[in-house]
């Protein structure tokens, strides 16, 4: 009985690890979560940007950019539910939307670098719109949080 009591925490930990693996995010969802975190910080920061924090903002932009570029080469889960004859067009549309997002992110980085805060705020709103459109069309219900 004592041996069992000693092993109980180990089995509990093992069970937690196993269960977390079952619910692990796909690589694409992990990149989208990375983008979501950086974008959330940028949205908050752009409500009242501070010139001294420009490098922090640019690091979030760089994080957004790298995650968006990595995401472009991945397939959304929803692609597995698309009929074969429509899948190529679906993936092309997804990649075009990711290109649009990357272009907006580049523009945001340039605006922040130049200290054009009103332009940066407008670009944050545009990125938010591109994100909504992309999620509406390319994200499956099981990927939503």
pLDDT tens by residue, 45-94:
999 999 999 999 999 999 999 999 999 999 999 999 999 999 999 999 99
What mean pLDDT comes out for the span 19-39?
76
% residues pLDDT > 70 (the chain): 80
CA pair distance 101, 117, nearest whole angstrom: 19
* Domain count across the chain: 1
Distance between alpha carbon 1 and the CA centroid of its chain, in Å? 48
Q: Is residue 49 part of a domain?
A: yes
Q: What is the pLDDT of residue 25?
A: 74
In the numeric block, which tokens belong to residue 11? Answer: 């089995």
> Domain of 100?
25-143
Q: Is residue 3 part of a domain?
A: no
Q: pTM here?
A: 0.78
To the nearest whole number, what is the mean pLDDT of the chain? 86
Question: CB atoms < 10 A from the CB of 71, how many?
Answer: 24
Q: Is residue 12 part of a domain?
A: no
Residue with tokens 């670098």, as numbered in its chain: 113
Q: Is residue 2 part of a domain?
A: no
Sequence-distant (≥ 6) Cβ neighbours of residue 97 within 8 angstroms:
130, 133, 134, 137, 138
Q: Is residue 137 part of a domain?
A: yes
Q: Is residue 10 part of a domain?
A: no
In the numeric block, which tokens belong to residue 2? Answer: 């004592």
Q: Is residue 4 part of a domain?
A: no
In the numeric block, which tokens belong to residue 54? Answer: 């420009």
Sequence-distant (≥ 6) Cβ neighbours of residue 75 within 8 angstroms:
28, 91, 94
Q: Is residue 6 part of a domain?
A: no
Sequence-distant (≥ 6) Cβ neighbours of residue 109 within 8 angstroms:
58, 61, 62, 65
Q: What is the CATH number of the domain that holds 121?
A: 1.20.120.10
């Amino acid at each position: 009985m004592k041996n069992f009591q000693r092993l109980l925490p180990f089995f509990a930990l093992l069970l937690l690890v196993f269960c977390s693996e079952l619910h692990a995010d796909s690589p694409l969802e992990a990149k989208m979560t990375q983008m979501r975190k950086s974008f959330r910080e940028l949205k908050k920061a752009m409500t009242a940007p501070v010139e001294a924090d420009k490098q922090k903002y640019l690091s979030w932009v760089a994080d957004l950019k790298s995650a968006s570029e990595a995401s472009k080469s991945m397939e959304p889960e929803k692609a597995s539910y698309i009929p074969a004859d429509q899948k190529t067009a679906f993936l092309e549309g997804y990649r075009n939307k990711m290109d649009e997002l990357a272009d907006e992110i580049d523009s945001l980085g340039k605006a922040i670098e130049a200290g054009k805060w009103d332009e940066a705020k407008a670009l944050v709103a545009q990125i938010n719109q591109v994100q909504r459109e992309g999620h509406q069309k390319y994200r499956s219900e099981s990927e939503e949080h």
